[in-house]
Each structure stands twice: as C-alpha cells, then as structure tokens.
Structure 1
C-alpha cells in the first residue's frame, strides 16, 4: 500500500514541496526583488498534522468544484445522489467526493494517497527572478456568482462594477473587505482575461513590499476567491499562529453548485469523456 511522502521540485531559484497525500503543497519558497527566499503558503512543518486532519484544506486538491453544493444533493441522469454534509447545511469541496472509503468513512480527494506517475527534474516556471490583506490583487472577471446566507450561489450572474467585489483594476484586498461580511468567499466568472495556450489569465496577486507577484492561468470557467475567513488560531509552521484573513486562496473551478444550476457551465463528465483541469502559477518579482 502506498505511503504518504513528500516530493521536492527545485530549479535552483524556487522550491516547492508536494505530498502524495491529497496532492498537498506543503511549502513554496519564492524569491523577492532581492532574491531572498520565503515560504508563501500556509501549512505545517511535518506531514503528521495533515494526516490527522488539522489542515482546513491547506494546499490540497479537491474535486472539480471548490466550495459548496446546496444541501449536499443533486440529480444526475435521473438518479438522486447525497453527499456528506461536512459544512452544514451543505457539502463543501470535492464534487464528486470519494463517497465511502475502505474503512467505511467519508473521504474527499484531499484525504487520499495519490499515485505519482512520474517525477521530473524541475517543473517550476519563473519569469524573473505572507499573503495578508495588504496584498494588491487583480481578477480578470467582470462578473461573479452572488451567494445566499449559506454562501451558496443563487444562480445569478452579477456584474462586479461599482461593488466591493470589483478587482478588474489592481486594488488592495483589505481596502473593502469590511463591506463583504466575513470576507471574500465568492466565485468569479473568468470572462475578460487574456488567453495563452488555451489558458485564461485568472488573477494577479502582488506584495508591494517584496514585489513577489503571482499570475494565475487556468482552463476552468471560474475561480473562488477566499480570504481565510474561517481560519482561527491554527498553529502552523515554526509555531506561527494563523488567524482570520491570514492568507488569500485562488481556487480555479467549475461554478459552485453548478450541478443544481442549469444556467451555469456544466461540471458533468460522462462515461468516455476526459476531464482536464489546468492551472499555471507564474511567479516573478516585478
């Protein structure tokens, strides 16, 4: 039986460590404008906390939809399905989850050991060489999917212009976060970014002090922007305590609850079809 392991990718300038447990990125060291490396992802010093379930989806893979499915229910090809209600009253992350594991419990894709098909020398791309609410952000989306009181999309497609959700021009994440309740936890419709090799420009995230910059590209139709609203007192790397708004998450995906919203792009993969989800994280120090 496969065991949880850590794999390191290093191109001499950047370094990332990834586990086969949940395909979890446990660390990502990126240089700043002076070439100084720093880890830019939340997480833990060892694999043990991940294995014990202490990580609230830090750095892991989920299903084709990050976020919620209303009431954990949907119908497909005339059959009704029920998912685990792991964020009452909804199912959070991982459509469709690995419903029943070998030991009889529920497991999502973030809690299984993945097979590593190939290990190459270095796959980290760099153009040139701790996310808080001071980060500057741009999202290439003129619309988002507004949510109800349980953070489930209502089915509407709403323009962001003139709202605190508008990141079509570069803006500090914290400048209007107080206007959106707990913080940002919304799916953006990626409808206005440049395209390159079949991937859409989804977002740009920049630290004005270090000048570390992330450009995110994807073939997914949407991106969940989440500001760690429910992180509270988690002890992470080096004893650091992660609190609310300790990080920003960019989760490319199908629209949340799309399986129950026929006007959303379909997230259904029928037998014989191929599902392909690509994300390109491009780092620089501009």
Structure 2
C-alpha cells in the first residue's frame, strides 16, 4: 500500500509538472477581445456562395464590419465632438451590389497591383506579361477579377492584444495575367485608441509584382449625401506625380509648391479643386499619387471635418498615397443614409507604391522574388478635435 501510494504521488507530481509547463508555454489569450468579434450571415451570391460578416468592437464602442468577399470593409464608425458614433465609410445598401461588380471598389482589398499599369503590360526579368485591361488601355487595381472579387478566408486571431482578423487568399500563377502563385495575408486590427491597423504580407513562388492597398471611401460627416470638399486635408508630401490623359504618371516628380496640389498645410479639399489646372482637368479633380516625405511607419496625412469634429490620421510605411476626391461617383447607387452617392461625396487615401512602377525604373520597385516577404502597414486613426 505504501509503495502504491508513493507511485501515485510521483505520478501526480509528474502530471502536475507537465500540466503546469504546458500551461506556461501556451500563448496568452485575450478572451475579452474574442468576445468583441461577432460573426453573422451577410448574404448569398448569385452562385449560391454564403458570405459572412465579421464585426469588430473596441472598448469605446467603435465598430468595423468586414465581409469575406473581397475583404471588404462595409462599415466603420467613429465618434463626433458630441461623442456620437457614426459610420464614416461609403458602402452599398444591399449585399448583391457588392457581389455583382463593384464599380467603385468600396472598402475592398486591392491586389495584385493597386492603381494603374500602363497598357496593361509590363516586363519582368526579360519576359513581357499582359494583364487584364479594365480601365481603357490600362489595368486598374488588379484587373476585372482582382482581389476585390475573391473569397478570403477569415478567422479571428485568438492570441491578439486587440480584436484582430486574419484574412488569407492564394492567387494562382497566371491569375489575371500576373506570374507566380502569390499567398497573401492581411490583418485587420481594431485597437482601443480608435485605430484600424492594416498589415499586409505576401510570398510568391516565382518573380512577380505586388502593390496591395485598401480602398475605403471616407466621409467624416457621416452624411453620405454631403460633399467632402469641406474636409480639411494635410498631406506630408512635397511632390506629386503628374499624369497623362490616361492618368498614367509621365515620370516627372513635381513640387506641389504654389500649385493646387499643395496640401503641406491643411486646407479644405474644395479650395483649389476647380482651379484652372491641366492636371486637375485630367483627373476631373484629385486622382494623383503624392510622394511622401520620410520613410518607415510615420504620419502621412490628416483629415479634419470641422462640423462633426472628426479627425482621421493616416500612418504608413509606403512611399506614396493616392488621394482621390470621388470625382466619378455619379448618383447611381443609394447611400446608407438615404439619397445617392454623388460626385465628391467620398474621398480615398490609398497608401501604396507608385502607379505604373513596373514600367518606370526610376520609381521604387514593386518586384517580389521567391524567398522574400512583402510586408506593409497602414493605420487609420480616429479622434475628435473640438
């Protein structure tokens, strides 16, 4: 009996040791953040595919809604000067409007190549590739069947400090004409200081080009029938890229000083938008890429809406940002607050490498090779200025 008892004690001690070690080696979880991620049915595509919606909520009550079709952000709320949270991103009112061809890329993840590629063609390591033409002679935002039309695998990250979603998509070699099988991972994180952090990663099995971005349209007023021309914008960039008649950079890096493109000091978006300027005429407003000052993760833009008091700061480690003033919104679609999305009722600040980089050797390279990892980060941080 004594021997048996002693063996039992030893066995329990061993189990305790292994059990304790196992517990200590487990990642620290944050169940309170898992509870702030809700999953619900969103809609069904014409092909019968079921779409899920993931709702992130932080401790302040801010919410971000994401669907697994296109990694689309369908809603994002931010507080005004009275503490009231309101949706500040444009989006469709019916699920099928996302599924049946999204002409404005509302809220979508963009790839493989954000922005334009001239003549839908580029040469990489001596080989010429033709990609999908979906913008006149050019390829825009990855082609007609870009990442914004794909089903992303989405799962909550259990060991994250804040509410986080992990989105993954593998693009086949030759998809939309791009070389290499590309595996892309994107993290959406909603922090407790009212910031949406977006982290991008990608790996390939053969040389390719990559330029990922997020295409949310913002209107900080929360009223999507109002123009964004009263929003005050500051961009930390001393130069921009002039474009030709097809909105392709001509290769020049032009100073913004003394031009309508000077946002180095905050000013209303509408102040110079109708100026007699050839570049504004070509874009029908602002639809240009700014060359950002500095490097690494830094503050590159701030937008302030005086009436609501909402402020949005953009941080990124990218070399450029495409500022688009919603020039082609045309009143075809209902807004989430009634009325129609008319011209200039939303703006985009798309952090990215420069347009047409594969065809312009003087621009930062967008080439990704096997064994390398593409990494990029952008933060949209919201606050109130009274």
Q: TM-score, normalised by structure 2?
A: 0.67
Counterpart position of 1:159:
255
Secondary structure of 1:167's counterpart equals coil
Counterpart position of 2:299:
201
Cα RMSD between the aligned structures?
Answer: 2.0
Q: Is the 8 A contact 1:66 1:224 kept in 2?
A: no
Distance in 2 of aligned mates of 1:3 and 1:156: 47
After TM superposition, list the pairs within 5 Å mapping 1:78-117 onto structure 2: 78-94=126-142, 107-117=145-155
Greater shift, 50-59 or 73-82, is seen at: 50-59
Confirm whether residue 118 of structure 1 aligns to residue 156 of structure 2. yes
User: Which of 349, 352, 358 matches 1:259?
Assistant: 358
Q: For residues 50-96 of structure 1, give each alpha carbon's deviation from its aligned partner in whole angstroms, at most 9, with x where no partner exists.
A: 011144101111126432110100001111111111010111112xx
Note the C-alpha offset of 1:47.
2.2
Secondary structure of 2:89's counterpart equals coil
Distance in 1 of aligned mates of 2:88 and 2:325: 15
Q: For residues 173-212 of structure 1, give each alpha carbon's deviation from its aligned partner in whole angstroms, at most 9, with x where no partner exists.
A: 00000122211000011115xx7xx412121011011111
The structure richer in strand per residue is: 2
After TM superposition, list the pairs within 5 Å mapping 1:1-286 onto structure 2: 3-11=50-58, 12-63=60-111, 65-94=113-142, 107-119=145-157, 122=163, 123-125=189-191, 127=193, 130-131=219-220, 132-179=228-275, 180-181=280-281, 182-192=284-294, 198-233=296-331, 234-286=333-385
Show structure 2 runs of 5+ residues with no match. Answer: 1-47, 164-188, 196-218, 221-227
The structure richer in helix per residue is: 2
- Aligned pairs, how many? 272
Note the C-alpha offset of 1:277.
1.9
Show structure 1 runs of 5+ residues with no match. Answer: 98-105
Q: Give every structure 1 segment of 4 or more consecutive aligned residues whose post-TM-superposition deviation is greater than 6 Å.
A: none
Q: Is the 8 A contact 2:239 2:253 kept in 1?
A: yes
Greater shift, 123-132 or 170-179, is seen at: 123-132
Q: For residues 120-159 of structure 1, give each alpha carbon's deviation from its aligned partner in whole angstroms, at most 9, with x where no partner exists.
A: 5623235479341100000000111110111100111111
Q: Is the 8 A contact 1:139 1:167 kept in 2?
A: yes
Q: TM-score, normalised by structure 1?
A: 0.89
Greater shift, 42-51 or 210-219, is seen at: 42-51
Of structures 1 and 2, the larger Rg is shown by 2
Q: Is the 8 A contact 1:13 1:31 kept in 2?
A: no
